[in-house]
Amino acid sequence: MDKVGPLLRYVFDQSVYKDRIDSCESVVNKMILRDTNYYSVLGTDKMCEGSHVSHKLVKVVRVRGKEDDSELPYNALISSHLAELTLCKLAELMVPNDFNLLVLAIKDDLISKALEDHSVFAFLGAAFVNAIIPKLTELKLENDAPPHRCALRVHPHERPSSPFF
């Protein structure tokens, strides 16, 4: 059931199971550039717009709040298999920066493969490196040791200006 996700009160026989997998994969394969706007709600508590986001790929779960015991809605991908297919398709269609922000917004362990495959170029891009340099903090080796300066700040001219791949 990892491929199609949990479906309550229904047990698949073999043919219905294969049909469900095929229909889920068909939804992913039919995605076009316009659909990427609708899937930007993944990893947020925003409402999905009507029938644009497929119920075969996305589920709404309840997440407990950090300060109190309140519960919030959260849009999540339905299974790890469909998450990988969906995120790989979105990576093909979306602008790389938008895709990386989407992946980072999804607080789930389902995305590790897609993040590994498609976001390596963000970490090699000069724009990304320039954006994170001000947010870097120095690490200390020991409690009383002085901090070492960040290598990107000390030698900014020695980083690659374009990806090596």
Residue-wise pLDDT for 108-151, tens only, equals 655 566 566 666 666 666 777 777 778 777 766 677 777 777 77
Residues 139, 73 share a domain: no
In a domain, 113, yes or no: no
Sorting pLDDT into bands at 50, 70 and 90, what band is 23? confident
Sorting pLDDT into bands at 50, 70 and 90, what band is 101? confident
Residues 95, 143 share a domain: no
pLDDT in tens, 56-99: 666 666 667 667 777 766 667 777 777 778 888 888 888 877 87
Residues 160, 89 share a domain: no
d(CA 81, CA 132): 31
Per-residue pLDDT, 9: 37
* DSSP state, residue 52: S
In a domain, 50, yes or no: yes
In a domain, 115, yes or no: no
In a domain, 76, yes or no: yes
Residues 78, 27 share a domain: yes
Residues 27, 93 share a domain: yes
In a domain, 62, yes or no: yes
In a domain, 1, yes or no: no
Residues 94, 24 share a domain: yes
Q: What's the rounded mean pLDDT across residues 19-36?
A: 83
In a domain, 5, yes or no: no
* DSSP state, residue 162: S
Residues whose CB falls within 8 Å of the CB of residue 74, separated by 6 or more in sequence, listed in order: 43, 44, 45, 60, 61, 62, 63
Closest C-alpha to 90, from 57, 60, 59, 46 = 57
Residues 144, 67 share a domain: no
Q: What's the rounded mean pLDDT across residues 43-68?
A: 65
Residues 49, 18 share a domain: yes
Residues 135, 94 share a domain: no
In a domain, 3, yes or no: no
- Asked if residue 6 has pLDDT above 60, the reply is no
- Asked if residue 4 has pLDDT above 60, the reply is no
Number of structural domains (the chain) is 2
Per-residue pLDDT, 163: 54
Instruction: Judge if pTM exceeds 0.75.
Output: no
Residues 29, 87 share a domain: yes
Q: Which domain holds residue 132?
A: 125-165
d(CA 92, CA 76): 20
* DSSP state, residue 34: G
3-state secondary structure of 11: coil
